[in-house]
Amino acid sequence: MDEIDLKDVPFTGWLEEAIPALCRMDVKCIGMAAILKDGGVATNFWEADTNDMAAMGYRFMEEGVLNTLRANGRELKEIIDNAEREENGEGIEP
């Protein structure tokens, strides 16, 4: 395998923070996922079984949903409010 100069890797700083943070915890297993520039997804796991992978996948999905709700909360509330008004026969606000 070719040597990699970590100074040239854009996420080295993130790893330098993430690894010590994990070392301070009682870690059972680790999973990593990366979106590749070609659109593919790379994953790597240490000591993770199928249930662990499912739990990690759920957590990724949960974070994505929560971030979407936070980013679009006002717009989503407006859509819901308008739908409720429409159901009640009221006019929709522009």
Question: Do both 27 and 54 map to the same domain?
Answer: no
| Residue 86 belongs to domain spanning | 49-94
Question: Do both 85 and 71 map to the same domain?
Answer: yes
pLDDT digits (tens, 9 = 90+) for 37-87: 999 999 999 999 999 999 999 999 999 999 998 998 888 888 898 888 888
pLDDT digits (tens, 9 = 90+) for 6-41: 888 999 999 999 999 999 999 999 999 999 999 999
* pTM for the model: 0.67
What is the separation, in whole angstroms, between the first and last Cα of the chain?
60
CA dist., res. 58 & res. 16, Å (int): 25
Close Cβ partners of 5 (under 8 Å, ≥ 6 residues apart):
none
Q: How many domains does the chain have?
A: 2
Question: In a 3-state reduction of DSSP, which class is residue 39?
Answer: coil
